Amino acid sequence: MIAHKTLTEKVYRIRAVWVLSTMLREMPVKSKLGQNFLHDAHAIERIATAVGDLAGRTVVEIGPGRGAITHALVARVKSAGPAGRVVAIELDRELAAALKVDFALEIAAADEGATVEVVEKSILDFDLTAAAEEAGGPLLVVGNLPYYITSDILLHLGKHHRAIERAVLMVQREVADRITASPGGSEYGLLSATVQLYGPVERLFSLPPSAFTPPPQVHSPVFGWKMAPQMEKLGVEEDEFFRFLRKCFAQKRKTLSNNLKAAGYESLQISKALQSAGVVPQARAETLDLNQFAKVSNYLALVNQ
């Protein structure tokens, strides 16, 4: 009986994969949704490995597309034992439908503990905090991000930082350069400070254009982001500090002092605030680290109470 069930499952799987591959071949790539599909098996394995131990974990995949990384994650979740899950969030209706066919058996096994859930939705509308509550612990997040909303996705993950332990993300090279930049470097800016406020980032490896369909122009870096929020250590309130950072970086060509003047702070207060943080009067925001931003912000908040 069991052998018969297994055989039936295999037949369904083969049929589903055949239907799916036909569907996918005929589906045009939607570049407006940032679709660059990974097909290089070695690259896919490297990403799945970088996510780490999946035993009993819930992994949220952003933009699973044709399911290249999803398959590698599901195989790992299954072999790691019970209670692990992959929640795949895909905006493209056709791709989400194809994934539901592809993973029909895993989804149908819901009562025994489904290993896959496909959600047709924008990741920006997906409540990661509720998903972590349902999972009973922090999520692992992975994604080859659609380039047209990379910054919004990073901010969304940051907002839900308490729900996430670690993220492994692939982005365009110029975005990776900004995210991983250090103060003083030409790439350091609002995005670097914002992402790093939520936790350290590390560049893991880069994938060549040949790993994708269609191939992008340049190599695509993959980076790891461990959620270890700095707000408490810096003594700042999250939303207020972001508003302050936006003022500091408002105009790239202006000095920090001039940006703060334009935001309405008084000159004398600004120079004292900079002094309290050991920052020279002509400094640009791009040269300050988070600690210095926090000192300037806290000083100005105190004298403007």
Residues at the site binding ligand SAM, with contacts judged by CB under 6 A: 33-38, 62-66, 68-69, 89-92, 95, 122-124, 144, 146, 149
Residue nearest to ligand SAM (CB): 63
| Distance between CA atoms of residues 282 and 256, nearest Å | 7
Distance in Å, CB of 89 to ligand SAM, minimum: 5
| CB of 223 or CB of 244, closer to ligand SAM | 223
Distance in Å, CB of 67 to ligand SAM, minimum: 7
On the question of a cis peptide bond just before residue 214, with omega within 30 degrees of 0, the verdict is yes
- H or E stretch covering 167: strand 164-170
Q: How many residues does the chain have?
A: 305
Per-position DSSP letters for 88-125, written without gaps between them: EEE--HHHHHHHHHHTHHHHHGGGGT-SEEEEES-GGG
| CB of 56 or CB of 224, closer to ligand SAM | 224
Distance in Å, CB of 79 to ligand SAM, minimum: 21
CA dihedral 130, 190, 290, 168 (to 10 degrees): 50
| CB of 213 or CB of 258, closer to ligand SAM | 213
Distance in Å, CB of 220 to ligand SAM, minimum: 9
| CB of 213 or CB of 255, closer to ligand SAM | 213
| Distance between CA atoms of residues 271 and 71, nearest Å | 56
| CB of 33 or CB of 301, closer to ligand SAM | 33
